[in-house]
């Protein structure tokens, strides 16, 4: 990530001079301004090359057929350029290829059936091109494929059974915005580990298959703007992890299944413009009309007031008294009693009402200093145990004397009621009351995170006298980075309204028993509707600067409005801090030197000199045994490069979080392959 490029049209001719580098394994000049065609001499690069990355440039012309000579290549990344022509069939010769990124270009023609030869392929991204024809059946031979993205092309034909039954698909199957026809094959039930199925904006028809209920890991189901018909299957009741569902603009009929009320993580449900009828549920996701859309279904009634539907009219039937008593009154009475007991149990053990000041006073022993576990900008955090549900919690008590504390409470409440994600800190309840002196009292009650904050793991000494530090392994740091990136991707792109966190830093990343990361503290978060958000960065803002020194995006200091790119900047700094164990506010970062520049100057050859010494020492034994220090260094270089890219000064040049997640998953896979290879 530099500013390389003359814009003269021959910027890639330097590849000719690299053909004598017989041990070259990695060639990466992504995120520059290089312009020109890929020279045919690319085929003369070392056969040892593993990674070829030139995405996010201004490269044009065809992908050379000769690329098929790079027989040991593992990663090809040509995305976000101006490449034209067809995808060379010779790519099918690259038997070691694991990741192929050639999306966001101007490629045309058919998807080569030879790609089915790539049995090691893990990620295939061909989205946002002008590809035509059908999806080749041979892709079903890619038995390691975890992510398949063919979206936003001109593909036709049916979804091949061989592809839809690929049980290796885990992260995403994205076929949206094409012209695919036919039904969704019942073999979709084989995708038991799939997280995201996106097939909206096609011409698919038929019934939604019952087998879809076998995809138990789904959290995103996007099937809108097709021609699906029939009822919404009862089998979908098993998909309890769904966060986002869009089956709008189809021909679906029947009633809205009540099981949607039970989906605790469901944060967006779009059933609009179908032929649904009958009662609209009122609980669960339906309780918040901003999270549900049912417009365009003229036979629906009831629901909450925000949906603006007509009330449902009950038709009464007259029966003989005995029949009425036996068939109606007694069953209703028994049913009502059972329902009351069930509801009482549910409310008692699962759905807490707002907690009282007195109860919080008791569980924290009068907000004793012995129970204090942290102090933040707007208040203090205490540990306590809620006896009725036997759960350890963290009680965040707002200091209402601090300016902005009340607003922070309202902002956090408003944000958290919309958010449901495994990597966000879960709120249990809230308290808005008065204390024993009659003063206003505000508190939020969260799940307790037993392993504290990332800040503590990076910078707190276990034994101050001996100077010992906690240590996180490389894979632990990588997993935490993936967790945080997944949370930001959800906030930015998968919830309505979209949320910008505005204060991402290590102290706001909390770790549970299993070291899974949870992003916390939404006290200064900003929410945007899809219509109001503008990522152009061109509009000034009257907001005060949001964020913490060292992590806040530089453009905020110039009056630029809050944006998702600002969160990406904070994430980049966080990532660099995780692997260097240096705060952006350390004394060494003076006179123009920043953590970003410090890391950028070390790339790629000096990275081992800036990474956390504890991380290096922990890997010394492995490195000595395997004599493959370069492979380990590759992973660290990739992680530092990602941090530098995310924290670049120009907002438009920063990555989006879904790409960050994909890159981190690639690094993790590369590291695990390396670890497995040295253990065998």
Q: Render pLDDT for 151-210 as a digit per residue (tens, 0 to 9).
A: 999 999 999 999 999 999 988 999 999 999 999 999 999 999 998 999 999 999 999 999
pLDDT at residue 120 tops 60: yes
Alpha carbon distance 398, 234 (integer Å): 45
- Which one is catalytic: 11, 201, 483, 503? 503
pLDDT at residue 537 tops 70: no
| Predicted confidence band of residue 670 (pLDDT cuts 50, 70, 90) | confident
What does the pLDDT average to over 120-129?
Answer: 94
What does the pLDDT average to over 235-264?
Answer: 93
**Please, how many CA atoms are within 13 Å of residue 28, restricted to the half-sphere of its CB?**
15
What does the pLDDT average to over 631-638?
Answer: 84
Beta strands in 214-326 (DSSP E): 220-222, 227-231, 244-246, 251-254, 268-270, 275-280, 292-293, 299-302
The pLDDT of residue 644 is 96
- The pTM for the full model equals 0.52
The pLDDT of residue 590 is 77
The pLDDT of residue 636 is 92
The per-residue pLDDT of the chain, averaged, comes to 84
pLDDT at residue 542 tops 90: no
The pLDDT of residue 496 is 76
What does the pLDDT average to over 646-658?
Answer: 92
Q: Is 396 annotated as a binding residue?
A: yes
Of the chain, the percentage scoring pLDDT greater than 70 comes to: 85
The pLDDT of residue 318 is 36
Alpha carbon distance 166, 189 (integer Å): 10
**Please, how many CA atoms are within 13 Å of residue 269, restricted to the half-sphere of its CB?**
25
Short-list 582, 575, 573, CA closest to 552: 573
Q: Is 40 a catalytic residue?
A: no
Here the tokens at position 124 are 């295939």
Beta strands in 439-539 (DSSP E): 440-447, 461-463, 468-469, 498-500, 509-511, 517-519, 526-528
pLDDT at residue 326 tops 70: no
């Amino acid at each position: 990530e530099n500013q390389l490029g003359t814009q003269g049209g021959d910027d890639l001719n330097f590849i000719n001079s690299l053909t004598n580098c017989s041990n070259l394994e990695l060639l990466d000049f992504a995120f520059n301004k290089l312009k020109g065609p890929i020279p045919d001499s690319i085929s003369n690069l070392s056969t040892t090359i593993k990674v070829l990355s030139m995405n996010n440039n201004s490269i044009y012309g065809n992908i050379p057929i000769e690329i098929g000579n790079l027989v040991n290549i593992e990663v090809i990344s040509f995305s976000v350029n101006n490449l034209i022509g067809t995808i060379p069939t010779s790519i099918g010769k690259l038997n070691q290829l694991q990741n192929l990124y050639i999306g966001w270009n101007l490629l045309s023609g058919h998807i080569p059936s030879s790609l089915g030869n790539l049995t090691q392929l893990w990620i295939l991204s061909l989205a946002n091109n002008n590809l035509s024809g059908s999806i080749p059946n041979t892709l079903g031979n890619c038995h390691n494929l975890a992510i398949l993205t063919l979206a936003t092309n001109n593909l036709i034909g049916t979804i091949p059974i061989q592809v839809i039954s690929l049980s290796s698909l885990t992260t995403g199957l994205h076929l949206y915005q094409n012209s695919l026809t036919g039904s969704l094959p019942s073999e979709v039930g084989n995708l038991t580990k799939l997280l995201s199925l996106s097939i909206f904006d096609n011409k698919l028809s038929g019934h939604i298959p019952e087998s879809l209920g076998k995809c138990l890991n789904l959290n995103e189901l996007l099937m809108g703007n097709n021609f699906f018909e029939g009822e919404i299957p009862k089998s979908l009741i098993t998909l309890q992890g769904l966060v986002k569902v869009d089956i709008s603009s189809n021909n679906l009929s029947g009633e809205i299944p009540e099981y949607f009320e039970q989906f605790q993580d469901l944060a967006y449900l779009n059933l609009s413009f179908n032929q649904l009828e009958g009662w609209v549920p009122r609980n669960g996701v339906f309780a918040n009309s901003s999270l549900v859309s049912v417009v365009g279904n003229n036979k629906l009634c009831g629901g909450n007031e925000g949906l603006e539907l007509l009330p449902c009219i009950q038709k009464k039937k007259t029966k003989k008294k005995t029949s009425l008593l036996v068939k109606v009154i007694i069953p209703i009475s028994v049913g009502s009693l059972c329902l009351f007991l069930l509801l009482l149990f549910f409310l008692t053990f699962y759905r807490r009402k707002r907690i009282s000041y007195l109860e919080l006073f008791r569980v924290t022993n009068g907000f004793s200093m012995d129970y204090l576990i942290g102090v933040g900008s707007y208040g203090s955090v205490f540990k306590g145990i809620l006896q009725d549900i036997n759960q350890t919690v963290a009680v965040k008590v707002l200091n209402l004397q601090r300016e902005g504390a009340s607003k922070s409470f309202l902002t956090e409440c408003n944000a958290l009621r919309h958010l449901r994600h495994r990597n966000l800190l879960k709120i249990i309840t809230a308290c808005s009351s008065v204390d024993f002196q009659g003063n206003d009292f505000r508190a939020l009650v969260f799940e307790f995170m037993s392993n504290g904050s990332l800040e503590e793991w990076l910078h707190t000494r276990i034994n101050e006298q001996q100077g010992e530090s906690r240590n996180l392994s490389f894979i632990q740091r990588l997993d935490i980075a993936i967790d945080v990136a997944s949370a930001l991707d959800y906030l930015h792109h998968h919830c309505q309204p979209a949320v910008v966190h505005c204060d991402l830093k290590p102290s706001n990343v909390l770790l549970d028993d299993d070291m899974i990361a949870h992003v916390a503290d939404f006290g200064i978060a900003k929410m945007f509707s899809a219509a109001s958000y503008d990522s152009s960065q061109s509009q000034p803002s009257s907001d005060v600067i949001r964020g913490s020194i060292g992590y806040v995006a530089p453009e905020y200091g110039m009056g630029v409005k809050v944006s998702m790119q600002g969160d990406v900047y904070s994430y980049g700094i966080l990532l660099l801090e995780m692997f260097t164990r240096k705060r952006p506010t350390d004394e060494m970062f003076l006179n123009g030197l920043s953590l970003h520049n410090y890391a950028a100057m070390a790339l790629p050859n000096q990275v081992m000199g800036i990474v956390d010494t504890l991380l290096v020492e922990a890997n010394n034994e492995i490195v000595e045994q395997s004599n493959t220090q370069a492979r380990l260094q590759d992973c660290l270089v990739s992680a530092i490069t990602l941090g530098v890219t995310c924290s670049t000064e120009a907002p438009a040049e920063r990555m989006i979080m879904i790409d960050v997640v994909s890159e981190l998953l690639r690094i993790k896979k590369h590291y695990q392959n390396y670890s497995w290879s040295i253990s065998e």
